């Protein structure tokens, strides 16, 4: 079966958490320099956070890595392979996965069916082979159900299994989104503001959930998040952006002590700082902002 053997070869070639290396990224939106010579690196299996004020280029950076936005210059290497000319779906095929917006795309489907559908979108067995119940199609059907059962358990979704996604709280829907992501077998996962728009109490439960996703999916994660204390608690490395540039990068402790990071940190989200409080050993002095 050529289809089957080529799939397993590519799975072998593109498996395990990926090294991400971007350099020299430039994006110009009709005069607005959204990215200006941006470089960063994420080691395989690490969680790297990107913080910075609104409009500093964080989402554009994720869009360039996932292929939605084409940079005018620069390089995006994943697992040593240059992807800058790849289409988004080609990047998807080598394991670059971007967070899904909201599982409410299918409001009437149950949690279980939503997850089965996600797994279907990922698997490449043709409809014809499934219809004919070819042995490999039956095997992949069983593997799909096992994978879905596993993420339902890992993410504590058992009691919501048969609930339509439209009946869930925003926070629980976000958990379903995380479970969908784990099913997509990412090697590099790009998360843009996963706690945006959810209640503070639910946002606080997010750190362990992202850790669980990190373990379940065995992937490198690049996360943009306005909740700065969450980023400092979760990430081994933090990158601070301001006006399209990386102004600081390092371990959370290094970044907290970096004066260049402070202004960007203060500007990251007044709302997040107000509800989460400042990171433990950083004294926030609003008048010290210049």
Ligand X SMILES: Nc1ncnc2c1ncn2[C@@H]1O[C@H](COP(=O)(O)OP(=O)(O)O)[C@@H](O)[C@H]1O
CA gap 96, 185 in Å, rounded? 9
Nearest to 192 by CA among 282, 95, 57, 75: 57
Among 19, 25, 34, 96, binds ligand X (CB under 6 A): 34
CA gap 256, 259 in Å, rounded? 8
DSSP category for residue 17: P
DSSP category for residue 50: E
Residue 220 binding ligand X, by CB under 6 A:
no
Among 54, 126, 200, 285, binds ligand X (CB under 6 A): 54
CA atoms within 13 A on the CB side of 278: 12
CA gap 276, 203 in Å, rounded? 10
Judged by CB under 5 A, which stretch of 55-63, 103-111, 128-136, 149-157 contacts Mg ion? 55-63
Smallest gap from Cβ 204 to ligand X, in A, equals 23
Strand 20-29 to strand 73-78: parallel, antiparallel, or no bridges (unpaired)? antiparallel
Residue 199 binding ligand X, by CB under 6 A:
no
Residue 32 binding ligand X, by CB under 6 A:
yes
Neighbours of 286 (CB within 10 A): 8
CA gap 290, 268 in Å, rounded? 15
Smallest gap from Cβ 53 to ligand X, in A, equals 7
Among 23, 46, 59, 129, binds ligand X (CB under 6 A): 59
CA gap 51, 28 in Å, rounded? 20
Smallest gap from Cβ 1 to ligand X, in A, equals 43
Calculated CA dihedral for residues 148, 149, 154, 160, nearest 10 degrees: 90
Among 23, 59, 75, 129, binds Mg ion (CB under 5 A): 59
For ligand X, give the closer residue by CB, 57 or 229: 57
* Partner that binds at residue 162, options ligand X, Mg ion, none, CB closer than 5 to 8 Å by kind: none
Judged by CB under 5 A, which stretch of 50-58, 111-119, 195-203, 274-282 contacts Mg ion? 50-58
Residue 270 binding ligand X, by CB under 6 A:
no
E strand spans, the chain: 20-29, 32-42, 47-51, 73-78, 81-82, 96-98, 188-192, 220-224, 237-242, 245-250
CA gap 146, 139 in Å, rounded? 11
Residue 29 binding ligand X, by CB under 6 A:
yes
Residue 57 binding ligand X, by CB under 6 A:
yes
Smallest gap from Cβ 158 to ligand X, in A, equals 35
Among 40, 58, 237, 239, binds ligand X (CB under 6 A): 58
Smallest gap from Cβ 12 to Mg ion, in A, equals 35
Strand 245-250 to strand 237-242: parallel, antiparallel, or no bridges (unpaired)? antiparallel
Residue 194 binding ligand X, by CB under 6 A:
no
Binding mask 78-117 for ligand X (x = CB under 6 A): ----------------------------------------
Residue 55 binding Mg ion, by CB under 5 A:
no
Interaction site with ligand X (CB under 6 A): 29, 32, 34, 52, 54-60
């Amino acid at each position: 079966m050529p289809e089957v053997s080529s799939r397993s070869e590519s799975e072998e070639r593109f498996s395990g958490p990926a090294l991400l290396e971007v350099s020299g990224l430039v994006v110009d939106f009709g005069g607005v320099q959204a990215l200006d010579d941006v470089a960063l690196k994420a080691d395989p299996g690490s969680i790297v956070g990107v913080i910075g004020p609104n409009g500093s280029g964080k989402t554009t950076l994720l869009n360039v890595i996932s292929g939605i936005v084409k940079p005018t210059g620069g390089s995006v290497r994943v697992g040593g392979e240059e992807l800058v000319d790849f289409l988004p779906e080609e990047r998807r095929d080598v394991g670059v996965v971007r967070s899904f917006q909201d599982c409410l795309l299918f409001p009437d489907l149950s949690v279980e069916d939503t997850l089965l559908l996600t797994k279907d979108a990922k698997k490449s067995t043709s409809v014809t082979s499934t219809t004919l119940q070819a042995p490999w199609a039956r095997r992949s059907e069983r593997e799909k159900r096992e994978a879905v059962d596993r993420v339902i358990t890992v993410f504590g979704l058992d009691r919501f299994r048969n609930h339509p996604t439209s009946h869930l709280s925003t926070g629980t829907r976000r958990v379903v989104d995380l479970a969908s992501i784990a099913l997509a077998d990412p090697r590099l996962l790009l998360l843009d503001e996963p706690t945006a728009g959810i209640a503070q109490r639910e946002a606080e439960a997010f750190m362990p959930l992202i850790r669980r996703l990190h373990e379940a999916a065995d992937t490198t994660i690049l996360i943009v998040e306005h909740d700065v204390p969450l980023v400092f608690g979760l990430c081994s490395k933090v990158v601070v952006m301001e006006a399209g540039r990386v102004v600081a990068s390092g371990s959370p402790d290094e970044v907290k002590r970096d004066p260049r990071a402070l202004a960007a940190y203060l500007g990251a989200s007044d709302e997040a700082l107000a509800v989460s409080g400042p990171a433990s050993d950083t004294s926030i002095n609003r008048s010290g902002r210049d």
